[in-house]
Structure 1
Amino acid sequence: MHARVAAATTAALLGGAVVILPSPHARAGSQSTGPVIVSHRGASAYAPENTLAAIDKAAAMGFNWVENDVQRTRDGELVVVHDATLARTTDVERVYPNRAPWKVKDFTAAEIARLDAGSWFSSRYTGTRVPTLKQYMNRVSHNHQKLVLEIKNPALYPGIERETLKLLSNEGWLDPAHLRSSLLVQSFSADSVRTVHDLRPGIRTAFLGKPSIAQLPQYARFADQINADHTSLSSAYISAVHGVRGPHGSPMKVFAWTVNDASTARRLAGFGVDGIITNVPDVIRRTWG
């Protein structure tokens, strides 16, 4: 999340995370009751967001669900980064001072690989790099983790849905086992979510936002889940979502983002929310006991 941990919570409103699959509990040490806990951009309160260090930190803490954001470089490489620009979470302004506004899409993968994506967070992480999606998937697999993948800013990257699915397929993530319990693809763009569903109907998908209750049957044609800003949710809305079946025949689910305190988590659990997206998964885990 964001500059620094405080800003991370604000920016989370632009990139929540979710999951919807069976067997939601993390490995030993994670919650045994309560909503599913998703580590937003990794354990992003404790390591620089969307880096390998952040998902390693989540794994070390015992959480197997992580979320990321995927965008595309000028030369077509998929990379894991949240903002449309590189300025907040890297030293791009120092390395490339004459290339404002430093948009991801204007840099090659090799250029981005030169950037320091950790020192903004802490000197401990100086030299941390922006991972490619391939590198990220290799580490998630190595850690035996599960992934909520957000297609970020799809309007900037025509065809990114197909390219993302091709990479996931090449990395072995579109086999029946992963589709059943380890992968969710989401976006703030309904068109992008629909495209993913049309290309690979077996993939679980989620729409980031809050359609009206009247619109839920329309969204249920291509989204298994609705994920919303926690401040917008009510027990009545969550019940309405649960009352609609998604494209795979199961009741739609709701995950709330971004929740970083126990009292809010307890309130949402009382509403019946299915999952919590958080920068501080350990704090939320203690809520469930």
Structure 2
Amino acid sequence: MRAGRKLTVERYVDGTWSTVAETSAKGASAALTVAAARFPAWYRVRAAAHNGIASVATAPVRTTLNRRPVEIAHRAGAALGPEQTLGAMEASLTAGATAMEVDVQLTKDAVPVIVHDQTFARTTNVATVFPGREDDPVGTFTWAEVQQLDAGSWAGPQWAGEGIPSLDELLTALGGRAHLVLEVKFWPFNQGTPEERAALRDVLDAELVAGRLGELAGAGKLTVSSFNHEFLQPFAEAHPDVPVGALTFFPPSATQVAQWATWAEEIHGQFALTTWQDTTAARAAGLTTSVWTLATPDQYRVALASGAEALITDNPGLLASVLEPPAPTS
């Protein structure tokens, strides 16, 4: 083929061919390599009509990744069941998840419970059980009161009666079947007071010494993460055998990456803002990258293009359909 003939690299996704790059025969191999390396799909190269020669396309070829990212079930699998519940966790395990992400906060009587929001209003029947307290923070409720809440009915009648688990209940039910990413949550704005940070630190320290959390850590199946790095760095320095993930919304600067690498093992970044260059820089500093939060095939594809080692997803099990898409029909 003449080197100057125009070629189009095309990708097949969700039943449609789209153009990835327009190039010459000389540059087609490089263009296809760059596209396919970061985006597993079906590809073909089409040559335009040229000097009376009809347009022609190669047979479609499916590419894949040389390393399969880990799927981490966000909030125990928020698309598969009521978030942060044992029911969602079991649904995620059934879907093949090998890692779980959940949030931990303390009740008024210092019981660590698995809940994301500052209040119980969105995910429980607190307005019915405790009228007038629906806007009260999680930390104003005792564990006995939390146990009266239904955290499943809002997601569908089949989930009625799902409760908010304590950390110990979740660890017992998990039984070491998956890696746990435990996000330490503070409100408002992920800050908390010094007293709140100290209280949660005391509980986690005790759990690591004599609780099921320590058993999970000893098996190499625990990561602790937080947006609150004032909490996370001292925790990491006190527990060097427990990997920690520095949660961030915006990609860190080179200075931040170098500083985080002195105490963290992972960066947990927002998927749409994390680039190939970001993950490469993190890897060069000795860190891995997990990106949050995915729910759709398109979001998976964006995340895969970043080269992240792990994908924090509401919909665990979706990765297979993205990595192994059906063959083109046209």
Instruction: Identify the TM-score tier after normalising by the shorter chain.
Output: 0.7 to 0.9
Alignment of 1:51-62 (within 5 A): 51-62=85-96
C-alpha change, 1:268 and 1:199, in structure 2 (3 Å) is same
Structure-2 residue corresponding to 1:105:
139
Report the number of matched residues: 251
Report the TM-score when normalising by structure 1.
Answer: 0.81
Q: CA offsets per residue over residues 174-194 of structure 1, 9 Å max, x none?
A: 35x734631100000111111
Structure-1 residue corresponding to 2:255:
214
**3-state SS in 2 of match to 1:114:** coil
C-alpha change, 1:158 and 1:181, in structure 2 (3 Å) is closer
Structure-2 residue corresponding to 1:252:
287
1:146 to 170, 176, 179: 179
C-alpha change, 1:123 and 1:206, in structure 2 (3 Å) is same
**3-state SS in 1 of match to 2:116:** coil
Structure-1 residue corresponding to 2:111:
77
Aligned partners of 1:206 and 1:225 also within 8 Å: yes
How far residue 268 of structure 1 moved from its aligned partner, in angstroms, is 2.6
Looking at structure 2, the residues matched to 123 and 172 of structure 1 have their Cα atoms a distance apart, in angstroms, of 32
Query: Is the counterpart of residue 284 in structure 1 residue 319 in structure 2?
Result: yes
C-alpha change, 1:221 and 1:158, in structure 2 (3 Å) is same
Q: CA offsets per residue over residues 64-92 of structure 1, 9 Å max, x none?
A: 20110000001111100000111101111
How far residue 225 of structure 1 moved from its aligned partner, in angstroms, is 0.7
Aligned partners of 2:150 and 2:163 also within 8 Å: yes
Looking at structure 2, the residues matched to 55 and 189 of structure 1 have their Cα atoms a distance apart, in angstroms, of 25
Structure-2 residue corresponding to 1:200:
239
Query: Is the counterpart of residue 191 in structure 1 residue 230 in structure 2?
Result: yes
Q: CA offsets per residue over residues 7-43 of structure 1, 9 Å max, x none?
A: xxxxxxxxxxxxxxxxxxxxxxxx9952111011112
1:236 to 271, 277, 300: 277
1:164 to 204, 214, 232: 204
Q: CA offsets per residue over residues 224-282 of structure 1, 9 Å max, x none?
A: 111111111111111111110xxxxxx20111111122233233323311111111112
More contact order relative to length (CA 8 Å, sep ≥ 6): 1
Looking at structure 2, the residues matched to 221 and 97 of structure 1 have their Cα atoms a distance apart, in angstroms, of 48
Looking at structure 2, the residues matched to 54 and 113 of structure 1 have their Cα atoms a distance apart, in angstroms, of 18
How far residue 130 of structure 1 moved from its aligned partner, in angstroms, is 0.5
C-alpha change, 1:45 and 1:35, in structure 2 (3 Å) is same
C-alpha change, 1:220 and 1:162, in structure 2 (3 Å) is farther
Structure-2 residue corresponding to 1:126:
160
Aligned partners of 1:70 and 1:133 also within 8 Å: yes
Looking at structure 1, the residues matched to 128 and 226 of structure 2 have their Cα atoms a distance apart, in angstroms, of 31
Looking at structure 1, the residues matched to 307 and 218 of structure 2 have their Cα atoms a distance apart, in angstroms, of 25
C-alpha change, 1:32 and 1:60, in structure 2 (3 Å) is farther
Structure-1 residue corresponding to 2:220:
181
Looking at structure 1, the residues matched to 290 and 320 of structure 2 have their Cα atoms a distance apart, in angstroms, of 15
> Structure 1 stretches of 5 or more lacking a match?
1-30, 245-250
Partner letter of residue 83 of structure 1? D
**3-state SS in 1 of match to 2:155:** coil
Query: Is the counterpart of residue 155 in structure 1 residue 195 in structure 2?
Result: no
> Structure 2 stretches of 5 or more lacking a match?
1-64, 325-330
Looking at structure 2, the residues matched to 117 and 32 of structure 1 have their Cα atoms a distance apart, in angstroms, of 40
Aligned partners of 1:229 and 1:256 also within 8 Å: yes
**3-state SS in 2 of match to 1:155:** coil
The range that moved more, 92-101 or 163-172, is: 163-172
Looking at structure 1, the residues matched to 292 and 173 of structure 2 have their Cα atoms a distance apart, in angstroms, of 24
Structure-2 residue corresponding to 1:24:
none
How far residue 103 of structure 1 moved from its aligned partner, in angstroms, is 1.1
Partner letter of residue 61 of structure 1? A
- Give the superposed CA RMSD: 2.0
Query: Is the counterpart of residue 67 in structure 1 residue 101 in structure 2?
Result: yes
Aligned partners of 1:37 and 1:65 also within 8 Å: yes
How far residue 59 of structure 1 moved from its aligned partner, in angstroms, is 1.3
Looking at structure 1, the residues matched to 109 and 302 of structure 2 have their Cα atoms a distance apart, in angstroms, of 45
Partner letter of residue 153 of structure 2? S
Higher strand share: 2
Looking at structure 2, the residues matched to 179 and 214 of structure 1 have their Cα atoms a distance apart, in angstroms, of 32
C-alpha change, 1:172 and 1:74, in structure 2 (3 Å) is closer
Larger Rg: 2
**3-state SS in 1 of match to 2:298:** helix
C-alpha change, 1:179 and 1:285, in structure 2 (3 Å) is farther
